[in-house]
Amino acid sequence: MPYPTQLGLQDATSPIMEELMYFHDHTLMIVFLISSLVLYVLLLMLTTKLTHTSTMDAQEVETIWTIMPAVILVLIALPSLRILYMMDEIFNPYITVKAIGHQWYWSYEYTDYDNLSFDSYMVPTQDLLPGQFRLLEVDNRMVLPMELPIRMLISSEDVLHAWAVPSLGLKADAVPGRLNQATLTSTRPGVYYGQCSEICGSNHSFMPIVLEMTTLKYFVKWSWLMQ
């Protein structure tokens, strides 16, 4: 969950999100150094007397300012590609869950079970219990086991949606007639919130996502009760 006046990203709950946060900090430092260098050069030009204004040949300088941007781009691209392949890798998932976007709610199907599916609607403000979050709480949470690889299949039944949970580093488009795939693994138990991240109509702001990550023992008990 984000908190008031928060400036950074939400706390990472999955290994993928931890890698994304490291990459964010890595890229931010490169941007900070480039911005500092440009500001320093601008200040020098404004505060020092210009000399050698008639110089027409500067091979060394041209070589440096051609090679340096290429090196910087490589330093950004290599870790970016590594994380990209990590996000697409799905190895022996424990269960598969299909999330289907509707106007304006989500439905979930646990494909490894014969009869385990439900709709998830936002809880209206007047029905909230003490401690629940406005515009984020749902009547049926999606329950998943922690510390196990989970495969998510994401689609839509009407218009474009996007299934996004920031603390897990997940965001996948829900496209009608198409299945998008994502993987998630939570390193600790908890309740994690997300929202539709694609403008999908008048009630776009009212279709939240709630994941409850629990122990495997509790998940098995919950799945039997839900069937």
57 pLDDT more than 80 = no
- Which pLDDT does position 56 carry in this prediction? 62
Q: For the chain, give the percent of residues with pLDDT over 70.
A: 97
- Residue 93, pLDDT > 80, answer yes
With helix as H, strand as E and coil as C, how does the chain read? CCCCCCCCCCCCCCHHHHHHHHHHHHHHHHHHHHHHHHHHHHHHHHHCCCCCCCCCCCHHHHHHHHHHHHHHHHHHHHHHHHHHHHHHCCCCCCEEEEEEEECCEEEEEECCCCCCEEEECECCHHHCCCCCCCCCCECCCEEEECCCCEEEEEEECCCCEEEEEHHHCEEEEECECCCEEEEECCCCCEEEEEEECCCCCCCHHHCEEEEEEECHHHHHHHHHHHC
- 199, two tokens: 């403008």
Ordered by start, the domain boundaries in the chain are 15-88, 95-226
The CATH code of the domain at 15-88 is: 1.10.287.90
CATH topology of domain 95-226: Immunoglobulin-like (2.60.40)
* Residue pLDDT, tens place only, 130-161: 988 999 999 999 999 999 999 999 999 999 99
Out of 23-27, 70-74, 154-158, 222-226, which region has the weakest mean confidence (pLDDT)? 222-226
Judge if 15-88 and 95-226 fold alike in CATH terms: no
